[in-house]
Structure 1
Amino acid sequence: MIPLPDAFLRAPIAHRALHDLGDARPENSRAAIRAAIARGYGIEIDVQPSRDGRAMVFHDYDLGRLTGRRGPIAQQDADALGALALKGGDEGIPTLAEVLALVAGRVPLLIEVKDQHGQMGRTDGRLEAAIAADLAGYAGDAALMSFNPHSVIALRDLCPDRARGLVTCAYPLADWPLLRRDVRRRLREIPDYETAGASFVSHQASDLGRARVAELRAGGARVLCWTVRSEAEERVARRRADNITFEGYLAAHPA
């Protein structure tokens, strides 16, 4: 188990970087990343695979919402994705390698690996291997996490020197209609924490009162949370979480 570096606990973490379409900063974009660095925030990003096996910094499985071009991101090569402009900005979808070069260790980077299985089962490991290759030799603080425990377990072996965590929540049916009931019931109890060699969870802010989260924290786990959208929500979340992931406002740096 690799402890979560203290850098992830000092400054609030900007969800999908410091995005603001009103200022031409789409989520997970270089512009949003530069803005977060300028304000000294930590950065959370999402990673999806390209068709040719590159790790791309992008949240959705389909390109439509964020680019206007329909179709799965996994069916396009990295060069084509890099040339595809994000809506509300003038830059294409970056690779993880490009983001690492841009951040260059100036702020901590929290990398969420998107589930490629569909039911949080075993994946083929291609995305995890691409992430590990990009992170090799990176000197900055970077931590890895996923809703899918199998991805975190794969990263345990591929990136043994990086802190790993699980993204966790209450798994309500309304938010997870495609996920089987038995999978939702199992995952909400966070049973894979020890097997994954995790040192933190990033838990749904509205569900921080869950007994299992308190149990993990009492046992030494660091608790991050997602996604806080106001100062009022932040005050409540910080009663049970070691740090927040935020968007929609400028979170204050704790004294």
Structure 2
Amino acid sequence: MTTVVNYAHRGASGNYPENTMIAFEQAITLGATGIETDVQMTKDGRLVLIHDEKLRRTTGVNALVAETLADEVLQLDAGSWFSPEFKDARIPTLEQLLELAKRTHTIVNIELKNGIVEYPGLERKVIETVQSYRMSDQVIISSFNHYSLIECNRIAPEIPTGILYMEGLYRPWKYAKSVGASALHASRYAVLPEWVAEAAQHDVIYNVFTVNDPAEMKRLMQAGVAGIITDYPERLAAILRGQ
């Protein structure tokens, strides 16, 4: 088995509140070599890390991120929904995660969450933030909005991109090349060893989501995927250590 990048999905979200600094920090402690997160933009243009377009599920506030000012978003309790012990957890900014990742030499997979809410200028703002930290070689940008990835490749072709998709793409490595992406961020249901091998012949890698079963992690590693996105980075870390 080859070594894969151990991407913690929204941080170590199996045991900590997703997309919070404690989830990111603990993921690295647990053996993650990459962090997967979601970026959106507040009403006043700040880049914040949250999966849902609405604040409701993780903070209890029934409002869109896009319609809320950063000062309010960053003060919300983003941990109590998961467990009362995490009541002090907050929604972080992209800058906070990049600072952690730069310090710990961790790869960051930034998913642009602009499939439902458009967030004009999101691509450029994310790229400029990454470039300000000189982390272009430590980041991969992914999205289900493939038009957005084309825009990212136009602005900063040196930052790799990955196309997110669920199922059923025919010869996805060819499509990835047409978009300018170097990675396929595929659902675990859409990965077969022969596809991984053929993609590799076209210099396209697979980063697979969201894989929590150790047996499935081993199957995907044997298939030759480059990265596995998991809620439980400690499980993949144990496999990589040979335990």
Bucket of the pairwise TM-score, normalised by the shorter protein: 0.7 to 0.9
Contact 2:38 2:113 survives alignment (8 Å): yes
In 1, Cα distance between the equivalents of 2:166 and 2:96? Answer: 30
The answer as to 2:111 corresponding to 1:112 is yes
Helix, strand or coil at the partner of 1:139? coil
Code of the aligned partner of 1:103:
A
In 2, Cα distance between the equivalents of 1:52 and 1:71? Answer: 15
Match of 2:129 in 1: 134
The answer as to 2:78 corresponding to 1:86 is yes
Alpha-carbon spacing, 1:209–1:96, altered in 2? closer, same or farther (3 Å): same
In 2, Cα distance between the equivalents of 1:71 and 1:117? Answer: 14
Match of 2:63 in 1: 71
In 2, Cα distance between the equivalents of 1:193 and 1:130? Answer: 23
The answer as to 2:52 corresponding to 1:60 is yes
Q: Which TM-score applies when normalising by structure 2?
A: 0.82
Alpha-carbon spacing, 1:10–1:232, altered in 2? closer, same or farther (3 Å): closer
- Cα RMSD over matched residues? 2.3
Alpha-carbon spacing, 1:195–1:138, altered in 2? closer, same or farther (3 Å): farther
Q: How many residues align?
A: 224
Segments of 5+ residues of structure 2 without an aligned counterpart are 81-85
Alpha-carbon spacing, 1:200–1:249, altered in 2? closer, same or farther (3 Å): closer
The answer as to 2:7 corresponding to 1:29 is no
Q: Describe the superposition over 1:110-135 as per-residue Cα deviations: whole angstroms up to 9, x where unpaired.
A: 111113457xxxx5642112211211
Higher helix share: 2
The answer as to 2:178 corresponding to 1:195 is yes
Contact 2:11 2:18 survives alignment (8 Å): yes
In 1, Cα distance between the equivalents of 2:114 and 2:133? Answer: 24
Match of 2:8 in 1: 14
In 1, Cα distance between the equivalents of 2:150 and 2:197? Answer: 23
Segments of 5+ residues of structure 1 without an aligned counterpart are 1-8, 172-187
Helix, strand or coil at the partner of 1:27? coil
Match of 1:183 in 2: none
- Which runs of at least 4 in structure 1 moved beyond 4 Å after TM superposition? 210-214
Alpha-carbon spacing, 1:193–1:234, altered in 2? closer, same or farther (3 Å): same
- Counterpart among 139, 143, 146 of residue 140 in structure 2: 143
Alpha-carbon spacing, 1:101–1:249, altered in 2? closer, same or farther (3 Å): closer
Alpha-carbon spacing, 1:160–1:192, altered in 2? closer, same or farther (3 Å): same
In 1, Cα distance between the equivalents of 2:233 and 2:110? Answer: 21
Match of 2:83 in 1: none
Alpha-carbon spacing, 1:52–1:16, altered in 2? closer, same or farther (3 Å): same
Helix, strand or coil at the partner of 2:236? coil
In 1, Cα distance between the equivalents of 2:69 and 2:195? Answer: 41
- Counterpart among 210, 213, 216 of residue 230 in structure 1: 213
> Could you tell me how far 1:49 is from its partner in structure 2?
1.5
